[in-house]
A and B are shown apart, each in its own frame.
Chain A
Amino acid sequence: QVQLQESGPGLVKPSQTLSLTCAVSGGSISTSTYYWAWIRQPAGKGLEWIGRIYASGSTNYSPSLKSRVTISIDTSNNQFSLKMTSVTRADTAVYYCARDELDYDAFDLWGQGTMVVVSS
């Protein structure tokens, strides 16, 4: 059974870089039918797609975040990562990693989410 687990600092100072990792267990991150995505959700608000990566390293990003976001993949360690630069309080949210199943055109598996607070 494939599982996703986010990890990273829960507190980041304004203007600094947010870094999160998603570990994939129970299956290979290199499987051809999946992209791997980051999605966030501010408290009490809706879901916002951040971007996704394929095992080859090919990426797509949200236009509104593209200038600050980098998603990378480490197939040898079966994990992928998110870096977001120049964070502000508006970036405070629960960050989810998710599996983007290409045959479904949907996110069929989600991590439990990790809360990131941007505060000095």
Chain B
Amino acid sequence: SYDVTQPPSVSVSPGQTATITCSGDKLGDKYVSWYQQRPGQSPLLVIYKDSKRPSGIPDRFSGSNSGNTATLTISGTQAMDEADYYCQAWDRTTVFGGGTKLTVL
């Protein structure tokens, strides 16, 4: 089965840029989505088709995908961005990464 891997945790200072990666074999050949999940809440789609933002998602969220790695970038990180982030891809089945806890110090 296909697997995607995320770092368990990432830390960033307020106002700085946070980078969260998602790795998988030839991941660049697939579409990747990213979800934000705050404690006690349902996941929220923040990036789809590698780099597109749904309506209402701030433009400080951006994404890219090439080779074996997809990346979620949060520019000018705010305290409210502290959450778990999950990548997701489709390879004959939907797969989620294990999640990355973003801490804004």
Contacts and interface: CB of A to CB of B under 8 A. Distances in A.
Given A63-B1, A113-B42, A108 B96 contact: no
Given A46-B99, A110-B42, A105 B86 contact: no
B41 to A, nearest CB: 8
A49 B96 contact: yes
Interface in B36-50: 42-45, 48-49
A54 interface: no
B54 A105 contact: no
Interface string B12-50: 000000000000000000010101000000111100110
A62 B93 contact: yes
Contacts of B44: 110
Given A47-B86, A63-B1, A107 B95 contact: no
A88 to B, nearest CB: 21
B98 A46 contact: yes
Interface string B65-105: 00000000000000000000010101001111111000000
For chain B, the bracket of interface size reads 20 to 34
Contacts of A106: 31, 33, 45, 48-49, 88
A107 B54 contact: no
A58 interface: no
Interface string A21-51: 0000000000000000100000000111100
A105 B45 contact: no
Contact of A47 (B45, B49, B93, B96): B96
Contacts of B33: 104-107
B42 A47 contact: no
Q: Which 7 A-B pairs have the closest CB atoms?
A: A106-B33, A106-B48, A49-B94, A110-B42, A104-B48, A47-B96, A46-B99
Given A105-B48, A106-B33, A110-B42, 8 more contacts: A46-B99, A49-B96, A62-B93, A104-B52, A106-B49, A107-B33, A107-B43, A110-B44
7 contacts: A37-B94, A47-B99, A62-B94, A64-B1, A104-B49, A105-B31, A110-B44
